[in-house]
């Protein structure tokens, strides 16, 4: 079920004080006159400010930090939180620099043959993204696929961010589907997949949607949404796990890590089959976080059922 009005209102309150117009303007000027290094230099102070004064932001990081670095201790955890803030800021700066064409980023695609093969098939497919790395900056890597792209995405809650980082969707080749519409946007998603399009969905953010239990994610039971797999199985289309990691100041590695074909089999409870598919996805996600531990921006406690 889609989130109710109280959930949406609470989320808007949470983000409204993060990233004001003036602060974003300073970053834009630093990027314009001093390049990425200048913007990153300013970011180091901003990240320290959030570390010292934003208790809620620290709390949202700690669920991940304590499980990814179980033996780090107090100072190790503090350092990990700071590095997460710093990395998230760098990814946002990179995204803006890419949108504004201020900086060119090199995209290296791993397992390109998988996405090419799926892209050449007549049907659509689900592109499963995650709040790790920088999937937004990696989307141009799909330019060689001749299919329409639909992005399942909530409206941006922070208006300063929406204004500064917003894309002109009317002129863009990408179309938006809001998960806060009727039936969570499922009708539009099914229609797009039926037309042979790519539908990009996040696999790690639940909000108020249904989730399934994963026996082990970073050493503990976790809960992840399963809507993408349920829809893919119903439409008989594959799910492509799409991840991207920052590997250098101007370089990203795009990984097509796993191709999952969710097909319901008779005699086996659907929820059990869905749990297996979600488990395949979280295995890939866990391997990514072992390699790039400071590029995790989920910032929600996926280990809590509610």
Per-residue pLDDT tens digits for 87-120: 999 999 999 999 888 999 999 998 888 888 898 8
Are 255 and 270 in contact by the 8 Å Cβ rule? The answer is: no
Q: What are the beta bridge partners of residue 254?
A: 109, 244
What is the rounded CA–CA span in Å between residue 188 and residue 199? Answer: 10
The number of C-alpha atoms within 13 Å of 261 and in the hemisphere containing its C-beta is 4
**pLDDT at 171 > cutoff 50:** no
Q: Identify the H or E element spanning 66.
A: helix 55-68
**pLDDT at 24 > cutoff 90:** no
Please tell me what DSSP assigns to residue 167.
-
CA 142 from centre of chain = 16
**pLDDT at 170 > cutoff 80:** no
**pLDDT at 287 > cutoff 80:** yes
Residues 6+ apart with CB under 8 A from 153: 176, 177, 178, 179
Confidence of residue 11 (pLDDT cuts 50, 70, 90): very low
**pLDDT at 49 > cutoff 70:** yes
Give me 112's structure tokens. Answer: 């390109």
Confidence of residue 135 (pLDDT cuts 50, 70, 90): very high
Residues 6+ apart with CB under 8 A from 160: 19, 20, 21, 23, 24
Q: What is the pLDDT of residue 20?
A: 63
Confidence of residue 212 (pLDDT cuts 50, 70, 90): very high
| Torsion angles phi and psi, residue 220, rounded to 5 | -145, 160
Confidence of residue 305 (pLDDT cuts 50, 70, 90): confident
C-alpha torsion sign, points 156, 160, 163, 165:
negative
Characterise 49 by phi-psi region: left (phi > 0), alpha (psi -120 to 50), beta (else). Answer: alpha
Q: Identify the H or E element spanning 168.
A: none
**pLDDT at 5 > cutoff 60:** no
10-30: average pLDDT:
64
| Torsion angles phi and psi, residue 131, rounded to 5 | -85, 55
Report pLDDT digits (tens) over 223-277. 999 999 999 999 999 999 999 999 999 999 999 879 999 999 999 999 999 999 9
Q: Please tell me the least confidently modeled range out of 41-50, 80-89, 182-191, 282-291.
A: 182-191
pTM over 0.85: yes
Give me 284's structure tokens. Answer: 């890939």
What is the rounded CA–CA span in Å between residue 96 and residue 26? Answer: 13
Which residue in the block uniquely carries the two structure tokens 């996405």?
Answer: 115
Q: What is the pLDDT of residue 26?
A: 83
More confident residue, 180 or 86: 86
Work out the angle between the directed axes of helices 55-68 and 73-99 (0-180°, nearest 10): 110
């Amino acid at each position: 079920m889609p989130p109710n009005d109280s959930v949406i209102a609470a989320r808007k309150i949470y983000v409204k004080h993060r990233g004001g117009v003036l602060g974003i303007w300073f970053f834009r000027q630093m990027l314009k006159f001093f390049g990425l290094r200048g913007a990153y230099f300013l970011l180091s102070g901003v990240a320290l400010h959030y570390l010292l004064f934003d208790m809620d932001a620290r709390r949202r990081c700690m669920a991940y930090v304590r499980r990814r670095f179980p033996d780090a201790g107090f100072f190790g955890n503090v350092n990990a939180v700071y590095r997460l803030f710093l990395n998230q800021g760098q990814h946002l700066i990179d995204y803006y620099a890419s949108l504004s064409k201020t900086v060119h980023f090199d995209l290296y695609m791993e397992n390109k043959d998988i996405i090419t093969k799926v892209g050449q098939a007549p049907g659509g497919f689900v592109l499963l993204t995650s709040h790790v790395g920088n999937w937004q900056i990696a989307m141009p890597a799909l330019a060689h696929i001749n299919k329409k792209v639909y992005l399942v995405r909530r409206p941006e809650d922070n208006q300063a961010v929406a204004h500064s980082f917003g894309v002109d969707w009317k002129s863009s080749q990408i179309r938006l589907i809001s998960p806060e519409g009727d039936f969570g946007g499922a009708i539009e998603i099914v229609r797009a997949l039926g037309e042979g399009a790519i539908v990009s969905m996040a696999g790690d953010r639940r909000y108020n949607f249904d989730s399934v239990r994963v026996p082990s994610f970073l050493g503990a039971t976790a809960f992840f949404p399963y809507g993408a797999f349920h829809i893919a199985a119903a439409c008989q289309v594959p799910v492509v796990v799409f991840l991207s990691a920052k590997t250098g100041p101007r370089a990203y590695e795009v990984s097509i890590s796993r191709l999952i074909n969710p097909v319901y089999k008779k005699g086996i409870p659907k929820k059990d089959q869905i749990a297996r598919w979600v488990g395949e996805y979280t295995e890939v996600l866990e391997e990514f976080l072992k390699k790039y531990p400071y590029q995790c921006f989920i910032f929600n406690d996926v280990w809590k059922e509610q």
